[in-house]
């Protein structure tokens, strides 16, 4: 564990170990200079063949972020309507994972899961999607003053999703080093299934949404590690 040699940590190691996902933000705006520095760190991430498939959309307007939050929750409500028993399409009614699916849900759900196995895993639709879709007080982006969307050019070589994820990690580490808090928000994936949201965000061929990062000044202590499971390592001689 790094605690065993904490007094020997380099500054880079310290940022890696102390960075944490922040979900409480101050209303204080983040300057575009700092936002650009965070993105610049992402720009220098490694990628297959130095392909650099990423693109960024930055939103630093509260009204726009709030509107996006509302539209995504509407999309999530539709997803729960399709996949969770007792969820309602146009109401903030949480579904019941213990109830039986209707006949029409049973008919379409295998096809949906087969087409999108990770996004429509019951653990996701029943918890990660169901809760924010039905809770009127929940804000998908934690009311952060800045939202950065990470897109990828799917024509790129290699694993462009992985490359863009590495880019995002560079960005979150840089944000921490600059005194900012950041949090990945995967629910932005709802954009994939909504032509309305794609148009709203200006996402066009050949780019697709990969993830998003909420960014801002954190409330409370930023420099604190979070417990992790022991690493699973097989040493081969």
- Euclidean distance between CA atoms 232 and 57, whole angstroms: 36
In the chain, what are the domain boundaries?
A: 19-60+145-216, 64-134
Distance from the Cα of residue 17 to its chain's centroid: 20
- Euclidean distance between CA atoms 222 and 201, whole angstroms: 31
What pLDDT shows up at residue 148?
99
- Euclidean distance between CA atoms 59 and 4, whole angstroms: 41
Summarize pLDDT for 121-137 with one digit per residue, the tens: 665 555 566 667 677 78
DSSP for 181-207, written as a single string: EEEE-GGGGGGGG-HHHHHHHT--TTE
What pLDDT shows up at residue 114?
72
| pTM for the model | 0.87
Low-confidence ranges of the chain (pLDDT < 50): none
What pLDDT shows up at residue 89?
58
DSSP for the chain, written as a single string: -GGGGGGG--HHHHHHHH--B---B-SPPPPHHHHHHHHHHHHTS--GGG---EEEEEE--HHHHHHHHHHHHHHHHHHHHHHSTT--SSS-----TTSPPPHHHHHHHHHHHHHSTTTT-HHIIIIIIHHHHH-TT--TTTT-SEEEEEEEETTSSS-HHHHHHHHHHHHHHHHHHTT-EEEE-GGGGGGGG-HHHHHHHT--TTEEEEEEEEEEPBSS--S-----PPP------
What pLDDT shows up at residue 219?
95
- Euclidean distance between CA atoms 119 and 83, whole angstroms: 11
CATH of domain 19-60+145-216: 3.40.109.10
- Euclidean distance between CA atoms 200 and 91, whole angstroms: 23
Cα angle at 189 between 114 and 103, to 5 degrees? Answer: 40
């Amino acid at each position: 564990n790094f605690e065993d040699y904490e007094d020997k940590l380099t500054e880079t190691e310290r940022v890696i170990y102390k960075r944490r996902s922040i979900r409480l933000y101050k209303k204080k705006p983040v300057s575009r200079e700092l936002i650009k520095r965070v993105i610049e760190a992402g720009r220098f991430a490694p990628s297959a063949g130095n392909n650099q498939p990423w693109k960024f959309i930055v939103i630093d307007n509260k009204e726009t972020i709030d509107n996006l939050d509302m539209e995504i929750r509407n999309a999530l409500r539709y997803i729960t309507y399709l996949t969770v028993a007792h969820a309602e399409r146009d109401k903030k009614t949480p579904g019941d994972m213990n109830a039986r699916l209707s006949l029409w849900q049973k008919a379409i759900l295998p096809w949906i899961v087969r087409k999108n196995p990770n996004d429509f895993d019951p653990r996701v639709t029943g918890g990660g999607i169901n809760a924010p879709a039905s809770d009127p007080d929940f804000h998908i982006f934690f009311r952060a003053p800045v939202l950065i969307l990470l897109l990828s050019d799917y024509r790129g070589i290699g694993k462009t999703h992985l490359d863009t994820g590495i880019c995002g990690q560079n960005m979150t580490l840089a944000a921490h080093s600059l005194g900012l808090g950041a949090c990945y928000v995967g629910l932005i994936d709802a954009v994939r299934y909504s032509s309305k949201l794609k148009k709203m965000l200006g996402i066009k061929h050949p780019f697709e949404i990969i993830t998003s990062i909420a960014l801002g000044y954190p409330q409370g202590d930023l420099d604190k590690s979070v417990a992790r499971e022991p690493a699973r390592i097989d040493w081969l001689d």
